[in-house]
Amino acid sequence: MRKVLRYLVHVLLLATLIWGVIGLGMYYWLTDRERVSVGRRAPDVSDMYISDAITKLWESDLSFDIKPIQADISVGYVVAQIPVPGTLMGSGEKVTLIVSTGLNTATVPAVVGMDAADAIKKIRDAGLRVKDVIEVPDGGNFVVKSITPGPGSKLALGEGVVLTVSIPEEVRVPYVVGLPLPIAEKKITDVGLKVGKITYKYVEGIKLETVKAQFPRSGIYRWKGETVDLEVWTGDYQKTVQSDQN
Q: So where are the chain's domains? A: 39-102, 105-166, 170-245
Better-scored residue on pLDDT, 81 or 237: 81
Pick the CATH number of 105-166 from 3.40.50.720, 3.40.50.1000, 3.30.10.20, 3.30.1050.10: 3.30.10.20
Whole-angstrom distance, CA of residue 63 vs CA of residue 76:
18
Residues 118-137: what's their mean pLDDT?
94
Neighbours of 199 (CB within 10 A): 16
Confidence of residue 36 (pLDDT cuts 50, 70, 90): very low
Is pTM beyond 0.75? Reply is: no
Which pairs from 128-132 meet CB under 8 Å and 24+ separation? 128/155, 128/157, 128/158, 128/159, 128/160, 128/161, 129/158, 129/159, 129/160, 129/161, 130/160, 130/161, 130/162, 130/163, 131/160, 131/161, 131/162, 132/160, 132/162, 132/163
Using alpha carbons only, what angle is made at residue 178 by residues 175 and 182, rounded to the nearest 5 degrees?
85
In 3D, which of 105, 110, 102 has the Cα closest to residue 149? 110
* Per-residue pLDDT, 108: 95
| Matching fold, domains 39-102 and 105-166 | yes
Whole-number percent of the chain with pLDDT over 90:
62
Q: Are 63 and 93 in contact (CB under 8 A)?
A: yes
Just give the CATH number of 170-245. Answer: 3.30.10.20
Confidence of residue 106 (pLDDT cuts 50, 70, 90): confident
Average pLDDT, the chain: 84
Pick the CATH number of 39-102 from 3.40.50.720, 1.10.357.10, 3.30.10.20, 3.30.930.10: 3.30.10.20
